Protein backbone atom coordinates (compact mmCIF):
# COMPACT_ATOMS: atom_id res chain seq x y z
CA UNK A 1 0.00 0.00 0.00
CA UNK A 2 1.23 3.46 -0.93
CA UNK A 3 0.28 6.45 1.28
CA UNK A 4 1.03 10.02 0.21
CA UNK A 5 0.19 13.36 1.86
CA UNK A 6 -2.26 15.10 -0.46
CA UNK A 7 -3.82 18.03 1.39
CA UNK A 8 -3.28 19.52 4.85
CA UNK A 9 -5.32 22.30 6.44
CA UNK A 10 -6.16 23.58 9.92
CA UNK A 11 -8.05 26.17 11.93
CA UNK A 12 -8.54 26.85 15.63
CA UNK A 13 -11.55 24.53 15.71
CA UNK A 14 -10.53 21.77 13.29
CA UNK A 15 -7.90 20.47 10.95
CA UNK A 16 -6.52 17.44 9.29
CA UNK A 17 -4.33 15.70 6.78
CA UNK A 18 -5.71 14.05 3.67
CA UNK A 19 -3.70 11.12 2.31
CA UNK A 20 -3.95 9.58 -1.13
CA UNK A 21 -3.95 5.82 -0.67
CA UNK A 22 -3.13 3.37 -3.44
CA UNK A 23 -3.77 -0.22 -2.44
CA UNK A 24 -1.93 -3.25 -3.77
CA UNK A 25 -4.45 -3.68 -6.58
CA UNK A 26 -3.97 -0.05 -7.72
CA UNK A 27 -7.29 1.26 -6.35
CA UNK A 28 -7.08 4.86 -5.12
CA UNK A 29 -8.93 6.29 -2.15
CA UNK A 30 -8.39 9.21 0.21
CA UNK A 31 -8.04 8.97 3.98
CA UNK A 32 -8.66 12.10 6.05
CA UNK A 33 -7.17 12.06 9.55
CA UNK A 34 -8.78 15.04 11.24
CA UNK A 35 -9.85 16.47 14.55
CA UNK A 36 -12.15 19.04 16.06
CA UNK A 37 -11.63 21.18 19.13
CA UNK A 38 -14.44 22.54 21.29
CA UNK A 39 -13.19 25.68 23.05
CA UNK A 40 -16.09 25.66 25.54
CA UNK A 41 -15.47 22.14 26.83
CA UNK A 42 -11.75 21.95 25.92
CA UNK A 43 -12.57 18.65 24.18
CA UNK A 44 -10.66 17.25 21.22
CA UNK A 45 -12.27 14.63 18.99
CA UNK A 46 -10.22 12.65 16.48
CA UNK A 47 -11.65 11.12 13.30
CA UNK A 48 -10.59 9.11 10.29
CA UNK A 49 -12.79 9.42 7.23
CA UNK A 50 -12.33 7.64 3.91
CA UNK A 51 -13.34 9.24 0.62
CA UNK A 52 -13.47 7.60 -2.79
CA UNK A 53 -12.26 10.77 -4.53
CA UNK A 54 -10.69 14.15 -3.85
CA UNK A 55 -13.92 15.77 -5.05
CA UNK A 56 -15.87 13.93 -2.35
CA UNK A 57 -13.46 15.29 0.27
CA UNK A 58 -13.63 18.76 -1.30
CA UNK A 59 -17.43 18.86 -1.08
CA UNK A 60 -17.15 18.15 2.64
CA UNK A 61 -14.48 20.82 3.17
CA UNK A 62 -16.41 23.60 1.44
CA UNK A 63 -19.47 23.04 3.62
CA UNK A 64 -17.58 25.53 5.75
CA UNK A 65 -18.51 28.65 3.77
CA UNK A 66 -15.24 30.29 4.85
CA UNK A 67 -12.97 27.30 4.17
CA UNK A 68 -10.46 29.66 2.55
CA UNK A 69 -9.84 31.30 5.93
CA UNK A 70 -8.51 28.04 7.31
CA UNK A 71 -4.75 27.69 7.40
CA UNK A 72 -3.41 25.60 4.49
CA UNK A 73 -0.21 23.68 5.12
CA UNK A 74 0.09 21.59 1.96
CA UNK A 75 -1.68 21.05 -1.36
CA UNK A 76 -0.50 18.27 -3.66
CA UNK A 77 0.60 19.59 -7.08
CA UNK A 78 -2.17 17.56 -8.77
CA UNK A 79 -4.77 19.83 -7.14
CA UNK A 80 -3.01 23.20 -7.13
CA UNK A 81 -4.60 24.55 -10.32
CA UNK A 82 -8.02 23.45 -9.09
CA UNK A 83 -7.48 25.16 -5.72
CA UNK A 84 -6.26 28.33 -7.44
CA UNK A 85 -9.49 28.39 -9.47
CA UNK A 86 -11.57 27.87 -6.32
CA UNK A 87 -9.79 30.71 -4.54
CA UNK A 88 -10.61 33.08 -7.41
CA UNK A 89 -14.32 32.49 -6.69
CA UNK A 90 -14.31 33.24 -2.95
CA UNK A 91 -15.41 36.42 -1.26
CA UNK A 92 -12.41 37.50 0.81
CA UNK A 93 -14.42 40.47 2.06
CA UNK A 94 -16.54 38.30 4.38
CA UNK A 95 -13.74 39.17 6.81
CA UNK A 96 -13.47 42.97 6.75
CA UNK A 97 -9.93 43.14 8.17
CA UNK A 98 -7.60 43.73 5.19
CA UNK A 99 -4.55 42.43 7.10
CA UNK A 100 -6.43 39.19 7.83
CA UNK A 101 -7.35 38.85 4.15
CA UNK A 102 -3.77 39.49 3.03
CA UNK A 103 -2.33 37.08 5.56
CA UNK A 104 -4.53 34.21 4.37
CA UNK A 105 -3.99 35.00 0.72
CA UNK A 106 -0.21 34.95 1.25
CA UNK A 107 -0.43 31.58 3.01
CA UNK A 108 -2.45 30.06 0.15
CA UNK A 109 0.03 31.50 -2.36
CA UNK A 110 2.98 30.04 -0.43
CA UNK A 111 1.40 26.59 -0.17
CA UNK A 112 0.38 26.55 -3.81
CA UNK A 113 3.94 27.39 -4.87
CA UNK A 114 5.83 25.03 -2.50
CA UNK A 115 8.22 22.54 -4.05
CA UNK A 116 6.59 19.17 -4.71
CA UNK A 117 8.93 17.26 -2.41
CA UNK A 118 8.72 19.60 0.58
CA UNK A 119 6.29 17.34 2.49
CA UNK A 120 6.90 14.14 0.59
CA UNK A 121 5.84 11.20 2.74
CA UNK A 122 8.61 8.96 3.99
CA UNK A 123 6.19 6.01 4.37
Dmax over CA atoms of the chain, in Å, equals 49
Tens-place pLDDT, residues 44-88: 999 999 999 999 999 999 999 999 999 999 999 999 999 999 999
Whose CA is closest to 60, among 25, 105, 38, 30? 30
Q: Which helix (H) or strand (E) holds 2?
A: strand 2-10
Cβ atoms of residues 108 and 87 within 8 Å: yes
The per-residue pLDDT for 77 is 95
112: pLDDT confidence band, cut at 50, 70 and 90? very high
For the chain, give every domain's residue range.
2-113
pTM to 2 decimals? 0.87
> Residue 73 in 3-state DSSP?
strand
Amino acid sequence: MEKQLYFDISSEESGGSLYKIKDDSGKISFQYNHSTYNTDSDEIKIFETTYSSFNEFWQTLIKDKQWFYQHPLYVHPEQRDFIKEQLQKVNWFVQPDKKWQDSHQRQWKKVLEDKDDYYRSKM
